[in-house]
């Protein structure tokens, strides 16, 4: 049973990853080129690259495809565990709701604290500390989403109406996230980096993630519904 969801997740993840890669290539790469040029100009130096920009652009599709297969496989396994516990009435809706929840926990909440920055922003000597802080927030955000979901289920079992459940769980999640933001290190300053290019880069990052998670949820749900119509039980 789990293997069927794993295969569907990997297939959906590959397609979603390539779609996200296409968006990043068309929208994100031109912005990244401008950001790199500005960074080199401000540093008044041109650092030798391990891979040329054309090679990096081609490798983008390999990276997003590999990311999609890996994350999609994990998504399929997680879905197989939570499937019977999700409130939605179809695999399609369950898939979308799970993908949305993971998107919020794994990307959106961490992005609000640590928005994506071009390579030239931030002190290179602190990259390890910044990376550790980011992934700590990712893990804690996913845990907060899980606890919010469990709390909502408990309140429902106690007969609390839907509006009150949403308000209670939403307020609790906001408080938890605010505490995490206060406890974790601050994001690096962008300094004098041009505001327009900076936010164009960040928004392209958001767009890439939105396309990936929306694509994963939609494609995985479609594959599950197709299997159900064919009489496949898993």
pLDDT for 39-51, tens place per residue?
665 544 445 555 5
Categorise residue 232: left if φ over 0, alpha if ψ from -120 to 50, beta otherwise: beta
Helix (H) or strand (E) holding 212: helix 195-229
pLDDT for 46 equals 47
CA–CA separation, 171 and 96 (whole Å): 23
The burial of 77, by beta-carbon neighbours within 10 Å (0-12 exposed, 13-18 middle, 19 or more buried), is given as middle
Higher pLDDT, 164 or 32: 164
User: Which one, of 115, 135, 127, lies nearest residue 202 by Cα?
Assistant: 115
pLDDT, averaged across the chain: 89
Q: Is the pTM here over 0.75, yes or no?
A: yes
Domain boundaries, the chain: 1-122+192-234, 124-187
Question: Which tens digits make up the pLDDT trace of 47-74?
Answer: 555 556 677 777 889 999 999 999 999 9
User: Which one, of 112, 121, 114, lies nearest residue 195 by Cα?
Assistant: 121
pLDDT for 45 equals 43
Higher pLDDT, 147 or 47: 147
pLDDT for 41 equals 58
Query: For residue 126, what is the DSSP state?
Result: G
């Amino acid at each position: 049973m789990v293997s069927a969801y794993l295969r569907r997740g990997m297939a959906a993840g590959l397609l979603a990853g390539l779609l996200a890669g296409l968006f990043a290539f068309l929208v994100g790469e031109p912005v990244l080129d401008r950001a790199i040029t500005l960074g080199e100009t401000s540093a008044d130096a041109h650092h030798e690259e391990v891979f040329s920009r054309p090679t990096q652009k081609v490798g983008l599709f390999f990276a997003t495809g590999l990311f999609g297969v890996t994350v999609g496989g994990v998504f399929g396994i997680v879905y197989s565990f939570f499937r019977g516990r999700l409130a939605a009435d179809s695999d399609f809706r369950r898939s979308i709701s799970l993908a949305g929840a993971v998107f919020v926990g794994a990307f959106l909440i961490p992005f609000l604290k640590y928005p994506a920055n071009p390579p030239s922003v931030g002190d290179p000597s602190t990259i390890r500390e910044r990376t550790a802080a980011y992934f700590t927030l990712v893990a804690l955000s996913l845990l907060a989403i899980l606890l919010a979901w469990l709390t909502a289920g408990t309140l429902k079992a106690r007969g609390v109406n839907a509006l009150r459940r949403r308000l209670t769980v939403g307020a609790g999640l906001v408080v938890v996230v605010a505490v995490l933001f206060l406890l974790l290190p601050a994001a690096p300053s962008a300094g004098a980096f041009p505001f327009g290019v900076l936010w164009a880069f960040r928004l392209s990052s958001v767009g890439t993630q939105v396309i990936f998670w929306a694509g994963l949820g939609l494609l995985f749900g479609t594959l599950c519904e197709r299997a159900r119509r064919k009489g496949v039980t898993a």
